[in-house]
Structure 1
């Protein structure tokens, strides 16, 4: 079971990058982020109160996942688009567990809490 998901949140830990063998093809690459999706509600005093936020693991499968693992940082504000997926598994005591994860299509960096951005041209492979 899955459904469309779009949410804004903060990366809560250092991104985790992994590679998985894929026969003779290039390996499959996974970037896993732990993100807190908040629900800020404005109060009368002008501040915000978080109501109903939640943590979710976010998985991004992409050939450039290794490069992006250095780009995304703990505390960074991001916008995630993808799908929410029910994930069933067994714990160490063989109890059945159910969690939800987000399989991301896109993760955009939002400009909150960023001191500076430096862009460099990506090298182009020549003939």
Structure 2
């Protein structure tokens, strides 16, 4: 990974912390090989969830507040893994792919559930999730 990207991600996290941003990050089932499979219903209110499998299945990651989660920094296991998402926040959830810049891949509107199909180029290419109006 590009050192500049790492420094920028660390700097962004420090700025968010300094500004007192309300940030919540949690990973369900990510640390246990025997973790149960998630379902849409495992996504709490007021959060945006990214799931490893289509249809809200597999392990999932949750984001709340106003933040961007750079997945290869915050939880590398989820980088290029997300295949479905449910946005239970009041603002758009924007998912990005890293090439040499952050490229928007998919916007999931408030209340929307998104799941890939075999034809969807967004499958397993998400490297960052932004919620609460945050942008890279």
TM-score per shorter chain, which class? under 0.3
TM-score by length of structure 2 reads 0.21
Higher strand share: 1
Higher helix share: 2
TM-score by length of structure 1 reads 0.22
Q: Specify which structure has the bigger relative contact order, considering alpha-carbon pairs within 8 angstroms and separated by 6 or more residues.
A: 1
